[in-house]
Chain A
Amino acid sequence: MSERPSLWWIEWRLSRGSLVRESIGRFLFFCLLGFALLSLLLSGGVDRFLADRYAITAVLRAEVPSAEAEGLARKVAALPPVRSAAYRDPEAAWKEFLRAYPGLDPLRGAVGNPMPGYIEIRIRPDRLTGADVDLVASALRSVSHVELVLSGEEWLPRLLRAGRLASWACWGIFGAFLAGFFVVARLQERARAVALAGDFAFLAERGVPAGRLALLRAASSAVSGFLLAAAGTAAGGGALFLSLRTFPLLEGVIGPPSDLLLPRTVAAAALFSLGAALLSAAASLLGWRTARSVRK
């Protein structure tokens, strides 16, 4: 540690209690925000929830051999919007039917297995759009082995619109909490600037420019904001990781824990920390300005 005193140092020295309280509060808040941010990033709002429940079903003709059906499933799985494509042979389809409608075994005795084989296609959460669903459905319809494609075209646009609105609402709530952080941080910075007014006046009287004081405070605030946000996001990410491991059901809504370490997730967390640093610096400058205008 440098032996030369700095403004950050003197703020720490003169109002250690309030700085510690503020820092703990901000860290906990960033933990919550980090948890929410990573959850939103991984889930894409409600995209993953919808994608987990939505599937396109391609009903195959009765005479299609299993080998060809599996080959077709592999080709469908290679389409960019498709997350997975699984072939169910007529026997598996019959078992599923019986699980859904028990007591209908006699149907098979009369005419043999009435269920055709089918391919269940699931779409990637980030590609669950009307255009991509149409792309996959059109590709399937052009295949002669496919008798029928069930993609919910009648209700899908409404569902996707509702999903989009829900995602915006989720991000809006997140933004509101971020704005709340900014307001609270500004009030804290202002209160500290008022409390340390005597010290700042002392320095200003002795030739330390007020602008330099404000910039130094803002820089300190930015650095602490970045570190607290980074630490809070890391802690929130850790909590999310543990939650996903403990409750695998959450994976269907949020995503797999491994996605937390994807470069784009890490980059988003770094951007969030930078944003928090900027907000902290802005809160410091605005708090300083308000405190000065109150004193005048």
Chain B
Amino acid sequence: MIEGFRLGVFSRGTTLWDGLDFAFGDAAAWFIAGPPSSGKTLLLAILRGERRPDAGDVVVSGESLYRGNASLARAWRASCGHVPEQAAADARLTVGDLFRRSALAGGGVRESERKSRAARLLEMVGLRGASEWRVAELSISERVRACLAAELLRGPKVLFCDGVVAGAGVPCREMLWGLFRALAREGNTVVLAERTIPERWALAAGDAEPVGPFRVYRLPAKGGPG
């Protein structure tokens, strides 16, 4: 369980939001929709333990991320996966390099295991044989999917995705819908932040809980997208 208590952020000389309460239960896929510049990326950074909120606290499984032991916060970050809105575009990097450093962050995955899992994950996100492709030469959709696949290599317990659904594009929505719910069924937690939720996903998720400028949906574990 990830809980945010009375979270507040002051940015650019003004209060972006304050006093927000969140509760993301385990083994579920959560969808946070919010307008541009509402602080979705900031919220994910705060929930990941990367950025201390200007007010409030984040509690993970009963432990404070920002007021507790620093090693606990590090362990939490190590257990998280993160697909950023702006994926790495380093000219040197290949898709295989993304997997390599993801494996490194995970404390070491055997080379042979990494290669076979990377091939399976790339195939799953529609990028079969992309291991040697340069990230800088990929489209935005391909880049987002490659980063997502690389994060999944470590099998993170909690996956934060920033703009992944929009970045991956409409043709990949069905795949992502199935993937996120499958992850949730396996006991993982997925937190998605997007500007808008796809209409069919919103229909399937039902009523959203309004939290400040955001609307929080819980994606259903079973059933099709609307």
Residues of A within 8 A of B (CB): 3-7, 10, 13-15, 198-199, 202-203, 205-209
The answer to whether residues A205 and B50 also contact, given A14-B92, A15-B92 and a CB cut-off of 8 A, is yes
Contact present for A5 and B108 (CB under 8 Å): yes
Residue in chain B with minimal CB distance to A204: B77
Separation in Å of the B158 CB from the closest CB of chain A? 12
The interface-forming segment of B12-20, B96-104, B168-176, B207-215 is B96-104
Contact present for B105 and A5 (CB under 8 Å): no
- The answer, yes or no, to whether B185 is at the interface (CB within 8 Å) is no
Give Cα distance in the complex from A207 to B82, angstroms.
12
The answer to whether residues A206 and B92 also contact, given A5-B111, A13-B97 and a CB cut-off of 8 A, is no
Q: How many residues of B contact A (CB 8 A)?
A: 28
Give Cα distance in the complex from A82 to B199, angstroms.
100
Q: Which of B82, B88, B101, B110 has the most CB of A within 10 A?
A: B101
Contact present for A14 and B105 (CB under 8 Å): no
Give Cα distance in the complex from A208 to B154, angstroms.
14
Count of CB-CB pairs between chains A and B under 8 Å: 58
26 contacts between A and B (CB under 8 A): A3-B110, A5-B104, A5-B109, A5-B111, A5-B114, A6-B104, A7-B104, A14-B92, A15-B92, A198-B93, A199-B101, A202-B88, A202-B105, A203-B104, A203-B105, A205-B48, A205-B82, A206-B80, A206-B105, A206-B106, A207-B74, A207-B75, A207-B76, A207-B80, A207-B105, A208-B104
Contact present for A10 and B104 (CB under 8 Å): yes
Separation in Å of the A233 CB from the closest CB of chain B? 33
- Within the complex, which residue of B78, B80, B97, B109 is in contact with A208, where a contact is CB–CB below 8 Å? B78
Contact present for B77 and A207 (CB under 8 Å): yes
Give Cα distance in the complex from A184 to B110, angstroms.
36
Residues of B within 8 A of A (CB): 48, 50, 74-82, 88, 90, 92-93, 97, 100-101, 103-106, 108-112, 114
Separation in Å of the A10 CB from the closest CB of chain B? 6
The answer to whether residues A208 and B90 also contact, given A3-B110, A13-B97, A13-B100 and a CB cut-off of 8 A, is no
Give Cα distance in the complex from A14 to B97, angstroms.
8
Separation in Å of the A212 CB from the closest CB of chain B? 10
Give Cα distance in the complex from A7 to B107, angstroms.
10
4 smallest CB-CB distances across A and B, nearest first, come from: A207-B78, A207-B77, A206-B105, A4-B108
Separation in Å of the A208 CB from the closest CB of chain B? 6
Give Cα distance in the complex from A15 to B92, angstroms.
8
Chain A residues lying within 8 Å of B100, measured Cβ to Cβ, are 5, 10, 13
- Within the complex, which residue of A4, A6, A13, A208 is in contact with B105, where a contact is CB–CB below 8 Å? A208
Separation in Å of the B60 CB from the closest CB of chain A? 13
Chain B residues lying within 8 Å of A209, measured Cβ to Cβ, are 74
Give Cα distance in the complex from A14 to B74, angstroms.
25
Give Cα distance in the complex from A26 to B62, angstroms.
52
Residue in chain A with minimal CB distance to B84: A205
Separation in Å of the B36 CB from the closest CB of chain A? 23
Give Cα distance in the complex from A205 to B78, angstroms.
8
Give Cα distance in the complex from A3 to B105, angstroms.
15
